[in-house]
């Protein structure tokens, strides 16, 4: 099926891995992490424990990065028989006592399940769509959001670790000899550059992680929060702080709605409507 899939996704290993259409962000992120790790191991870390720790953390980051970027985020099957759907019909579902109207997607020809949005980059409807992340080139949705949070946390630990040891080395080189900035630039430009970059990365990742943990507590997506969808009404998905956190931590990941490795049968409705 992946050969005829109408979205913009790129598939690997016979449809087993589902990636976004633009790999440049993922390659840039991978290079930044790998290069930071190499500079740290070569110019900053003088003892084996520090080297070993950054290798372990870097490996965890790269594994998480690959997992998030190659996981089906929750793509909704399309419907190739749009003529059979009455678009004028009003469809609603009840969520915790609140009536939620289902919206029709004219591209996928389906009534979208609640919290589903159509990603203009990947050209797919994604269940519980959070956002399309340019840094990994993949949508973040129902099936990879928890993995995305783990990725943010591991990246934060990685760059905070690098910053702490790099700053310690700069401090050691400056004192007690009172070495100036220009002397540092001449003696250890790599360490100074790595310290600045890792601080900026850790600051950005820290803010982003706190933002998404805040969304977890509210049971909101980044899309819902950015567009203020619940500014004038109650969020039907909010079941309280404890329930929201437990749902995020304990609810198992649903199976993919689409078998991209399935054989295509001519004249068969390949993408049955979800609703």
Active site residues: 133
Q: Any long-range contacts for 209-213 (C-beta under 8 Å, 24+ apart)?
A: 209/149, 209/152, 209/153, 209/156, 212/148, 212/149, 212/152, 213/149
The Cα–Cα gap between 51 and 35 comes to 14
The Cα–Cα gap between 121 and 61 comes to 25
Residue 82 DSSP symbol:
G
**CB-based burial label for 62 (10 Å; 0-12, 13-18, 19+):** middle
Cis status, amide bond into 233, omega within 30 of 0:
no
**Residue 129 to residues 7, 104, 119, 140, 179, Cα–Cα distance (Å):** 16, 15, 8, 6, 51
Q: Which of 189, 201, 154 is nearest to 60 (CA)?
A: 154
């Amino acid at each position: 099926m992946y050969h005829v899939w109408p979205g913009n996704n790129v598939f690997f290993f016979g449809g087993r891995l589902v990636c976004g259409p633009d790999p440049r962000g993922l390659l840039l992120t991978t290079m930044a992490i790998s290069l930071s790790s190499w500079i740290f191991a070569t110019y900053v870390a003088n003892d084996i424990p520090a080297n070993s720790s950054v290798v372990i953390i870097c490996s965890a980051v790269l594994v998480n990065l690959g997992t998030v970027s190659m996981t089906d985020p929750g793509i909704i099957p399309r419907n190739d028989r749009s003529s059979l759907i009455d678009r004028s019909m009003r469809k609603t579902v009840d969520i915790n006592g609140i009536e939620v109207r289902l919206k029709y997607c004219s591209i996928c020809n389906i009534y979208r399940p609640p919290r589903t949005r159509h990603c203009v980059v990947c050209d797919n409807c994604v269940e519980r769509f959070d956002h399309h992340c340019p840094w990994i080139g993949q949508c973040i949705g129902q099936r990879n959001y928890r993995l995305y949070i783990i990725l943010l946390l591991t990246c934060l630990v990685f760059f905070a670790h690098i910053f702490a040891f790099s700053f310690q080395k700069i401090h050691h080189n400056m004192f007690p000899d009172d070495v100036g900035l220009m002397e540092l630039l001449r003696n250890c430009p790599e360490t100074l550059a790595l310290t600045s970059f890792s601080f900026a990365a850790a600051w950005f990742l820290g803010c982003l992680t706190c933002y998404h943990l805040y969304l977890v507590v509210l049971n909101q997506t980044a899309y819902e929060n950015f567009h203020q969808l619940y500014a004038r009404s109650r969020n039907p998905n909010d079941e309280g702080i404890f329930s929201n956190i437990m749902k995020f931590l304990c609810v198992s990941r649903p199976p993919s709605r689409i078998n991209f490795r399935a054989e295509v049968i001519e004249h068969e409705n390949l993408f049955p409507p979800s609703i």
